[in-house]
């Protein structure tokens, strides 16, 4: 189960609204959604959580690039909403590299196996194993477990890097308490 909310900073404090992400397919879509909720190009926070698995915060300040924090990148990678937040830049990959590799593999048989033949590593072949699932190799594009992103995302609002790292299942409560927005968020949750 997912929950998503927008917190827009105004002259009078924070305004909160829950939001549907059905039409959001990219980080750009999410950033546009946040900017539409902005008052005078002030800060907007987008909070997304998958119950007991992970949460993410996207901070949009006017026309600046969004800043992102994800509590557990590997859990988020298994989620369609989490994938939106896990950009190539956040993961330290060259933009589009994954797409280029996939396209090349389609054009050329880079793994050295015949069509329909299972891929077996050298180690597995020497050991007599033929089950590719038995191979312990970790994919090069694996997403790291644990927190990822901008730890200072909420520091100027009173939530330090260390505090952000300790947040787990009640993250939204802790974040909105630090922002002074707990009451307005409670009205939409």
Confidence label for 9 from pLDDT (cuts 50, 70 and 90): very high
Most confident range, picked from 47-61, 94-108, 115-129 = 47-61
Confidence (pLDDT) at 113: 53
The mean pLDDT of the chain is: 81
pTM value is 0.76
User: How many distinct helices (H) and strands (E) make up the chain?
Assistant: 9, 6
pLDDT > 70 in the chain, percent: 75
Name residues whose C-beta falls within 8 Å of residue 29's C-beta, 6 or more positions apart in sequence: 23, 84
The long-range contacts involving 118-127, CB below 8 angstroms and separated by at least 24 positions, are none
């Amino acid at each position: 189960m997912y929950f998503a909310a927008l917190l827009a900073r105004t002259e009078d404090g924070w305004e909160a609204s829950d939001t549907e992400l059905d039409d959001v397919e990219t980080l750009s879509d999410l950033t546009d959604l946040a900017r539409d909720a902005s008052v005078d190009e002030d800060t907007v926070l987008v909070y997304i959580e998958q119950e007991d698995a992970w949460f993410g915060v996207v901070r949009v300040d006017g026309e600046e690039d969004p800043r992102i924090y994800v509590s557990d990148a590997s859990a988020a990678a298994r989620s369609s909403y989490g994938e939106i937040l896990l950009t190539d830049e956040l993961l330290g990959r060259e933009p589009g590299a994954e797409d280029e590799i996939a396209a090349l593999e389609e054009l050329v048989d880079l793994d050295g196996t015949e069509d329909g033949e299972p891929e077996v590593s050298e180690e597995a072949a020497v050991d007599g194993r033929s089950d590719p699932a038995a191979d312990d190799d970790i994919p090069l594009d694996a997403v790291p477990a644990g927190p990822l992103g901008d730890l200072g995302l909420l520091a100027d609002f009173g939530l330090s890097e260390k505090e952000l790292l300790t947040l787990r299942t009640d993250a939204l409560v802790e974040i909105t308490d630090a922002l002074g927005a707990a009451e307005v968020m409670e009205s939409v949750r």
